[in-house]
Amino acid sequence: MAEPAQRPIIIVKRPKKGGGGHHGGAWKVAYADFVTAMMAFFLVMWLVTAVNKDQRAAIFEYFKNPSMQEGKAPKAAPGALGPGGASTSVINLHGGLDSPKARLRQNQGFGALQETRPTTVEEAKRLADAAERKKLESLLEDLKKAIEQSQALKPFKDQLLLDITPEGLRIQIVDKQNRPMFDLGSAKLKPYTAQILSTLAPYLTTVPNRISISGHTDTTPYTAQAGYNNWDLSADRANAARRALESGGLAPDKIARIVGLSSSVLFDKDNPRNPINRRISIIVMTHEAEESALKTDTAPEVDPANLPAAAPVPPPPSPPAR
């Protein structure tokens, strides 16, 4: 019996259809870079809006020069935080911590914004003068706004002259033709003049500076009574202005000086009899001007050793014997 023929074995290979091959994690790296960049961007935006102008300038300067000191060598100074960072060496390597202009306190950590302190007396005085001038300029703007908005001051805005002088903020109340500040030849204030001074008084209390008041006249001679002249009149008018300011709420100790200058300081030198020369000048003095003004009236310093010896005090008389 014949053997059956063996059938050939047929192998069918069917390829599996699926997604693409493995691409690796490169996209994750790109995405991480994108997220980091966005985080840095929003951090910078927050930092720009969260700090003031001076702090932004300090940050800008830090990134220009991280060592906080101008470099003089082509190679940055080594430090614990890398080249150009703060030096921790016993020897001064001119790192950030070795800079005399910006001492950062260790307990607040590196990168904390610190307010640099003045290094000299002159620098401290300059900063104080700048801050004081800024306050006076702010007061000047407040007064200008008040004059425009106040019903009591607006009609007289052309008679209120405001400016900044080396002595401080000056407020001048001047006479005008047919609208004088005082009665003719008198130290009595017109009602509207008293109202102007009372309105100005609260603004003068907003700054700690003391004020000086001076009275001025024109060159027209004053011949009302024997011995009373423009010197007396200008001093009396300055005192009348002082009383009106105190009635408006100005503390008496805010007044540093009352001066009557007659016609010695003319506003219009070309026309000595111009009504504008008759005025009251109020100066919100700087501290330097105040010290200079008061120094002229203080007694000179005398060494106690050079003072004359006091005369001996005689003993009291003994009671009579009874």
d(CA 129, CA 126): 5
Burial class of 195 by CB neighbour count within 10 A (0 to 12, 13 to 18, 19+): middle
Whole-model pTM? 0.53
Q: Which residue has the higher pLDDT, 71 or 149?
A: 149
d(CA 183, CA 280): 14
Query: Which whole-number Å values give the CA distances from 253 to 172, 209, 214, 285, in the listed order?
Result: 21, 11, 17, 14
Which pLDDT tens digit goes with each residue over 287-302? Answer: 888 888 777 665 565 5
Per-residue confidence at 35, pLDDT binned at 50, 70, 90?
A: very high
Percent of the chain with pLDDT over 90: 9
Q: Which residue has the higher pLDDT, 186 or 115?
A: 186
Query: Which whole-number Å values give the CA distances from 238 to 76, 100, 111, 216, 296, in the listed order?
Result: 66, 51, 56, 8, 20
What would you report as the CA-atom Rg of the chain, rounded to the nearest whole angstrom? 40
Q: Which residue has the higher pLDDT, 180 or 243?
A: 243
Query: Which whole-number Å values give the CA distances from 182 to 32, 212, 236, 278, in the listed order?
Result: 80, 19, 11, 9
Per-residue confidence at 240, pLDDT binned at 50, 70, 90?
A: very high
Percent of the chain with pLDDT over 70: 68
Dihedrals φ, ψ of 170, to 5°?
-110, 130
Which pLDDT tens digit goes with each residue over 251-264? Answer: 999 898 899 998 88
Say what the pLDDT of residue 297 is: 60
Decide the pairing of beta strands 160-165 and 211-216: unpaired
189 CB contacts (<8 Å, ≥6 apart)? 181, 182, 197, 240, 241, 244
Decide the pairing of beta strands 168-174 and 211-216: unpaired
CA neighbor of 161 nearest in space, from 144, 183, 186, 145: 144
Per-residue pLDDT at 37 exceeds 80: yes
d(CA 193, CA 141): 21
Task: Select, from the ranges 119-128, 201-210, 232-241, 300-309, the one with the highest average predicted confidence (pLDDT).
Answer: 232-241
Task: Select, from the ranges 76-85, 210-219, 269-278, 289-298, the one with the highest average predicted confidence (pLDDT).
Answer: 210-219
Mean pLDDT of 150-161: 81
Comparing 43-57, 110-124, 128-142, 146-160, the range with the smallest average pLDDT is: 110-124
d(CA 193, CA 187): 12
Say what the pLDDT of residue 47 is: 79
d(CA 92, CA 80): 13
Query: Which whole-number Å values give the CA distances from 79 to 87, 112, 121, 204, in the listed order?
Result: 4, 18, 32, 54
